[in-house]
A and B are shown apart, each in its own frame.
Chain A
Amino acid sequence: MSEQWTTIIKSNTKWFDINLKELFRYRDLIVLFVKRNYATRYKQTILGPLWLILNPLITVFLYSFVFGSIAGLSTDGVPQMAFYMASNAIWTYFAGCLTQTSDTFVANAAIYGKVYFPRLTTPISTVITGVLDLGIQIVMLVIIMAAYVVRGIHFELDYSVCFIPVLIIQVAILGLGCGIIISALTTKYRDLAVLAKFGVQLWMYASPVVYSVTQIPEEYRSLYLLNPMAPILTVFRHSFFGTGEIPWAAWGISWVVTAGVLVLGVVLFSKIEKTFMDTV
């Protein structure tokens, strides 16, 4: 029979079975998820969206006080407020992407158990939702920098400003990749979710967030830069403040790792999504 089937459901155990065309067909759903995330986020809170500004401000003050004033960590001559604002913006976006997508299956079990739609739409919309917070923090950073410029401090900006969107995309991919790997594993072992939240904190101290790469002794630096977030943070601050060098090789490796993590994540995710309802 020369039948044209639209869908074939099989006991699929193939590793590469990712339906990108279908994901694209559901793009409106991604947009709606993002809208819903915004619409419902600050309902029944006192300060509402003001938290978007307060949160990073408090963090940055705290960092300046603890790591800048008490610990006296170098910021490569960049004013502390600007330095920590930049680091915090990109790091919280990464951490947010990772932790919020890491419980995709468990958190959405109720809805996943009732209706089929490409499961990847949920983590993708989570990652897109986070861009607003990041944008606000970047605007705050620009305001802080403008304030410093008024007070006579110069920032050397060059072509590398163009890297900022590239970096944001990379961070989103890396965070999404790590998050969905964890989400696939947490369907069986719930405690991995706890580990993930704790691991992100540890990862922050292993990355140049509250300090600069120059603090790392020269002989360990190339090893240190294998952490995919290390070159990202370095390049991100270079793009804003023009400090230090762009570690091209390390950034290249970081991209390879990012791509690898994404592929592994998507493969694991689509493998788990077919049967996870039986285990959750």
Chain B
Amino acid sequence: MEEIAIQITNLKKQYKLGAIGGGTLTADLQSWWARKRGKADPNVQLGIDAEQFGKRFWALDGIDLSIRKGEAVGIIGANGAGKSTLLKILSRVTAPTEGEVKIKGRISSMLEVGTGFHGELTGRENIYMNGAILGMNKKEIEAKIEDIIEFSECREFIDTPVKRYSSGMYVKLAFAVAAHLDADILVMDEVLAVGDMKFQEKCLGKMGDGSASEGKTVLYVSHNMNTIRQLCTRCIVLERGKIIYDGETEQAIAIYMDRNTGDLRTRYDLSHAERPLLQPGKSVRLHSFEFLDKEHAVFDRKEKIRFKIEWSATENIPGLRIYFLIRFADSSVVGMTESEAFGDAEAGVRKTSYFEFDPAEFADGRYYFFADVFSMNESRAHLSYDHPYEKIYFEISSSNETGLVWQSKYWGHVRLNPIVCVEKN
């Protein structure tokens, strides 16, 4: 029987909705006194459903999992599925509400690289500091320091305070320490999204080596399906605190993406969608987005995508434009497209605008984008007015005239224009 490295039984974690306590003793006493007299709690934010407030929910709802030694396991799931909570419990940052985790071997977690780095300390001092925080002792670090410096590609600057480093160097140094941990189990949260491409490849390589040849167990959470594919031999899909799939990586990614894309509806009501915290949605507000002449948002690449938006404004702003940053369903960016100026905002007037977009260069697949209204100032910088956090999905499914099955995994999501021979012979 293969050795078990991590055994999780019926793991649960509960959180309270809303703020926990008033934060000050007086606020708590106030709330308590108000409740005592049957009056409204003065510290509950208005607008929050009083029923919801103080309700508990299970961020993890009974996770059972066993991971064998040497496995590289990916964990995927939508935001709020419980991935981070699971990692936090495994790395002992917080304790579970119920259940237990048994771990065999030394566990090191990297929820962030460069934890404990101090700007005033030199690169070398920070290696010691960071290494010790991650659980190495002085002797272990000394034995590895040369490798770490070599790996970080920062040898020249190793005795310079890290506050003088470029952010890239900083991250490389931090990652170099993490990559040389002497742990049997590595818990990682999207930390690979750092450094330049070459360095990322190097890190993935190092991680892969660790799991394959040295028998290290790796647990890896990411939204980037490509790194999951590269690194993981087994993959778990979480949804609302439960495991909905556990097994082969490609299958898991397919399930996750299927769950995540919604129903390809044509109309999106954006009035109540969440916005970024800053001003967006104040001066110009998008009310709806609708794909026209379609029952589902599925298009052939030879068609034009027609859509309309309804919007209103509270200020007069000339020259509004829209842009979409289009991503593939696994969040990787495909490209960006923007409109010309389509209208002027007039305070208090609700307008409907119609658009057309040519998806000729899209490969088959599901894509999504967020709608964004902006204008350009004199120096051609974007001033964004509204950006509702509502993913708008569409699918490109083209009739296949050449017989070529597009392989996004290898060729990307863009079908470039064909090569044309000017002088056939």
Interface residues of A (CB under 8 A from B): 3-12, 25-26, 28-29, 31-32, 35-36, 39-40, 43, 111-117, 188-192, 274-275, 277-279
CB pair B134–A11 under 8 Å, yes or no, is no
- B396 within 8 A of partner (CB): no
**Distance A224 CA – B26 CA, assembled complex (angstroms):** 32
- B34 within 8 A of partner (CB): no
Sample (22) of A-B pairs whose CB atoms are under 8 Å apart: A3-B102, A5-B102, A5-B103, A6-B103, A6-B105, A6-B107, A9-B96, A9-B102, A11-B96, A11-B100, A26-B135, A28-B137, A36-B129, A39-B125, A40-B120, A112-B93, A114-B112, A115-B111, A116-B109, A190-B24, A275-B94, A279-B20
CB pair B15–A10 under 8 Å, yes or no, is no
CB pair B104–A9 under 8 Å, yes or no, is no
CB pair A188–B21 under 8 Å, yes or no, is yes
Chain A residues whose CB sits within 8 angstroms of the CB of B134 once the complex forms: 115, 117
CB pair A116–B93 under 8 Å, yes or no, is yes
Chain A residues whose CB sits within 8 angstroms of the CB of B21 once the complex forms: 188-189, 279
* Nearest 8 pairs of A and B residues by beta carbon: A116-B92, A274-B95, A29-B132, A9-B101, A7-B103, A28-B138, A10-B100, A114-B112
- B118 within 8 A of partner (CB): yes
Cβ distance B358 to chain A, nearest Cβ, rounded Å = 46
Chain A residues whose CB sits within 8 angstroms of the CB of B90 once the complex forms: 9
Chain A residues whose CB sits within 8 angstroms of the CB of B291 once the complex forms: none
CB pair A3–B104 under 8 Å, yes or no, is yes
Cβ distance A6 to chain B, nearest Cβ, rounded Å = 6
Smallest Cβ-Cβ distance to A1: which chain B residue = B4
Question: How many residues on chain B are close to A (CB under 8 Å)?
Answer: 48
CB pair B132–A28 under 8 Å, yes or no, is yes
Near A by CB (< 8 A), chain B positions 215-261 give none
Cβ distance A183 to chain B, nearest Cβ, rounded Å = 16
Chain A residues whose CB sits within 8 angstroms of the CB of B153 once the complex forms: none
**Distance A271 CA – B272 CA, assembled complex (angstroms):** 42
Chain B residues whose CB sits within 8 angstroms of the CB of A40 once the complex forms: 118, 120-121
CB pair B96–A39 under 8 Å, yes or no, is no
Contact of B95 among A12, A31, A117 (CB under 8 A): A12
B68-110 vs A, CB cutoff 8 Å, 1 = contact: the mask equals 0000000000000000000011111111111111111111011
**Distance A35 CA – B132 CA, assembled complex (angstroms):** 13
**Distance A36 CA – B120 CA, assembled complex (angstroms):** 9
CB pair B118–A191 under 8 Å, yes or no, is no
